[in-house]
Amino acid sequence: MKNTAINYESLSDQELAGYAHARDRSAIRLITTRNNQRLFRTAWSVLRNHADAEDVVQEAYLKAFAAIDGFAGQSTLSTWLTRITMNTAIDRQRSIARRKSALDKQDVALMEHYRSNYASLGGKRNQPNSQLVRAELSKFLKLAIGRLPDQFRTVFILRDVEAMSVEETADILAIKAATVRSRLFRARRLLRQDLETEYADLFDDTIMFAGADCEAMTNRIINALCITQNGD
């Protein structure tokens, strides 16, 4: 039965972290649903592979919840989680590089992912044409973002897609704020050159991790942590 005495939405980050440390189901569910999208996009910005990014987010959550009693509130809980995800994604990228040596198969895997996701678009004749066009533009934008150099792509995802501040981005990447601004400027310029089209209103549809994916991630984290029925 859900605990109606606690208004989880009104809790501070430190209070929410405290409940999560106590393995409160509702607190952990709120934390994951609030951050799934951002953490997935962060991991994808490093790995450019949906499955690897999803694995990294799950791994990062488990690391974070195992150490959440150490969350001091010096940054937001979201920034703290994003930093853990970034470091986990970088570790995964290095592991992939060691296994595959110089053979870069990530772009091939990404294209296969798009083929499977978009192959059925042509058969949906009842879908409005404008939605098909938007889906195609979103696909090309994701590919263009994937072609950005690593250091530019990550800054672009955090700043323009996730709308994180310059300071938050600098903190997560351990670089200067001026470097964040410079890399973002160059990333935008490269994208304009690549796409030769307006892209600002396509971000929300570009790298999605919501709905069933989001709910499944949350449930996996809760199950992995063996949370007792003391929440909802």
CATH of the domain at 51: 1.10.1740.10
Residue 84's pLDDT is: 97
Residue 196's pLDDT is: 60
Distance of CA 209 to the CA centre of its chain: 7
Measure Cα distances from 118 to 88, 113, 136, 139, 198 in Å: 29, 9, 8, 9, 22
Residue 103's pLDDT is: 43
Can you tell me the distance from the alpha carbon of 39 to that of 87, in angstroms, rounded to the nearest whole number? 11
Residues of the chain predicted below pLDDT 70: 1-4, 99-134, 136-137, 196-208, 210, 226-232
C-alpha angle 52/68/79, rounded to 5°? 60
Q: Which two tokens stand for residue 130?
A: 């404008």
Residue 230 lies in a domain: no
Residue 130's pLDDT is: 57
Residue 227's pLDDT is: 56
Residue closest to 20 by CA, chosen among 4, 31, 35:
31
- State pTM to two decimals: 0.68
Q: Are 140 and 199 in contact (CB under 8 A)?
A: no
In this structure, the dihedral spanned by the alpha carbons of residues 184, 57, 204 and 116, taken in order and rounded to 10 degrees, is 110
Distance of CA 208 to the CA centre of its chain: 9
Q: Are 36 and 217 in contact (CB under 8 A)?
A: yes
Residue 138's pLDDT is: 73
Can you tell me the distance from the alpha carbon of 200 to that of 10, in angstroms, rounded to the nearest whole number? 32
Instruction: Determine the residue type at 97.
Output: A
Give 62-83 pLDDT, tens digit per residue: 999 999 999 988 999 999 999 9
Residue 4 lies in a domain: no
Residue 142 lies in a domain: yes
Residue 1 lies in a domain: no
Domain that holds residue 175: 11-224
Can you tell me the distance from the alpha carbon of 223 to that of 217, in angstroms, rounded to the nearest whole number? 10
- Residue showing tokens 């929440």: 231
Residue 2 lies in a domain: no
Residue 133 lies in a domain: yes
Residue 157 lies in a domain: yes
Residue 229 lies in a domain: no
Q: Count of domains in the chain?
A: 1
Q: What phi, psi does 181 have (nearest 5°)?
A: -65, -45
Q: How far apart are the first and last CA of the chain?
A: 6
